[in-house]
Structure 1
């Protein structure tokens, strides 16, 4: 199979779809890999490393998209990339279609076969989302702590305080991979951390593993409101695979917080779990609503591309090899987890969560514009 890796063009996105080590594995399996010149530079991976691994380097994105049967990307197609999508080609990337009806419309119009990293499953886990969730989770308290400083307009509290002063109070909404990573990092910085989740089994697990260092609280509107009001930093990490994130933190809850409090929405890729969340960029990461600061960068792991690109390739490569070695239909027929990653094919949606989120905004007919992935693969 001919596999293409274009340069990412999203704002301040320095990750790349695969490392030279991943290219070498694909070449070993007798596949051809086409990489756009400069695609890996932001991740500390020069073109020469890709050449030595066996990739063919080309100067433009148009050549990559025009020739490749399988496109490997990090983030969803944007801007000039969207017209390059085409029927008969497979796109494998973080897509987050539920949060972006316009992108969904472009994907459907193109007829491309779109497989989303974030909906691929292994049992009850999301193996391709997990590494980036870990990165975003570990970064979130660091970013929040920075924006809590007076110089950034924050309240001026230090996460761990010093003897004789109070420590910052951190609320983590959602106890998944990102939420746990955020909670552990915040606790390691000395903050008082409360984790809120609807899953009592998961809260029990966190309490046991972390030996009571994290305060756990069952999710309810009242518990969320009281925890948010008392917090200096709120980290949102709520996820429903493939679907738009629920808006659990309302504008009224935030308005009751201390002036200069900070909210970091890790769930912004899926629309965000705060009522007033809207996507921002690394170039312009924050905005104020009233007296509170929102940080809603949609590609947080892009800030540490050397770590993120390596972690992403470690997770995606086994699935890429399955698709390349067997073709996407056979690979999905043999792997139900990969099948769950199929979001769209030949102009129809194939993931129920995405369909539920975008059917209204796009005026779609679920009877005509949705087919279960299993039917598509078997047809």
Structure 2
């Protein structure tokens, strides 16, 4: 199979779909790999590194979209890229379709076969292709929040860890999954007063055992959530409903009780955000203020630590890419129901139920597509 990867064009996105090492693995399996010139510069990988791995360097993304049977990316295709997709082509990347009707419409129109990293499952209903980026985003959320809390960036001027004789900052993490756990680890490590909210008693028990007295846990309902955020310096939104739009847990009305200069970091922004007042921002302009509260809503947070993120991502995406290339997408999906869960769009049909429900498409089960 001819496989291609292109330079990411989303604002300040430095990750790349395939590392030179991944290109080498595909080439060893007998596949031809095209790489857009400069695609790996954000992770310190030169065109020569890709050539040394057996890749073929191409001048433009258009050449790759026109000739490659499978395109491997990181972020969802931007409008110009979507215009180059074609019927029968395989697109393997993060998509986050539920809050993005324009992208979904373009993918449906193109006839492409789109496999989304974020809905590929693993044993126990895990999301192994989302996990490494959730780990990165969770850890980064505390770094980003700590910076936004600085007075020069519009925050309250609070140091999360405090100093002797001065109380530490208060961090509230909404959601105890992968993002929330990693955010809490970082907050606790800095010495912040940390509270984690979740609706699953088993998750709360697991977090309580892990953190012991270093972090507090609290059942997530509207009353507890409102009470927790009122005196918080930093609130991390870390909720996820796989493939679906994130619920708006923090309303604008709730902001009234928060202290001016407090910070909200919405890690769920890829799925539409879990704060009513959120809208996507970029690394170039990461924050905005609503009712005195600083919002950080960068939709590609891991792109800022591109080398770490790319290698972590390739560790989990490459095995599936190899299977798709070796067997063809239909055989690969038939052989692995976890990978089949990643199919979101095929030949003009929406094949992921949460996306179809959210955006009003007829839902066509993957089993029907595979025949």
TM-score (norm 1): 0.97
Between the two proteins, the alignment pairs up a number of residues equal to 370
* Pair 1:229-2:230 in alignment: yes
Distance in 2 (alpha carbons) for counterparts of 1:342 and 1:2: 20
* Aligned pairs for 1:114-193 within 5 A: 114-123=114-123, 124-193=125-194
CA distance in 2, matches of 1:307, 1:254: 34
Aligned to 1:210, what secondary structure does the other structure show? helix
- Does the CA contact (< 8 Å) of 1:121 and 1:337 recur in 2? yes
User: Residue in 1 aligned with 2:282?
Assistant: 281
Query: What CA deviation, in whole Å up to 9, does each residue of 1:298-336 have, x standing for no partner?
Result: 000000001011111011011111111111111111111
Whole-angstrom distance in 1 between the partners of 2:46 and 2:227: 50
The aligned counterpart of 1:372 is 365
Q: Distance in 1 between matches of 2:181 and 2:93?
A: 24
Q: What corresponds to 2:335 in structure 1?
A: 334
Given that 1:2 and 1:31 are in contact with CA atoms closer than 8 Å, whether structure 2 keeps it comes out as: yes
Cα deviation, 1:222-273, whole Å, max 9, x if unaligned, reads 0111111121100001000000000111111122100000000000000000
CA distance in 2, matches of 1:79, 1:103: 8
Structure 1 CA distance, aligned partners of 2:174 and 2:202? 16
Q: Under a length normalisation based on structure 2, what TM-score does the superposition of the two structures give?
A: 0.99
Query: 1:80: Cα distance to partner?
Result: 1.3
How far is 1:377 from its partner?
1.4
Q: In 1, are the aligned partners of 2:323 and 2:332 still within 8 Å (CA)?
A: yes
Question: What pairs with 1:1-379 in structure 2 (closer than 5 Å)?
Answer: 1-123=1-123, 124-359=125-360, 364=361, 366=362, 370-378=363-371
Deviation at 1:162, TM superposition (A): 0.5
What's the offset of the Cα at 1:214? 1.7
**Inter-partner Cα distance in structure 2 for 1:59 and 1:135:** 31
The Cα shift of 1:87 comes to 0.7
Matches of 2:207 and 2:320, distance apart in 1: 30
Structure 2 stretches of 5 or more lacking a match? none
Residue 15 (structure 1) shift: 0.3
Give me the whole-angstrom Cα distance separating, in 1, the residues matched to 2:79 and 2:40: 20
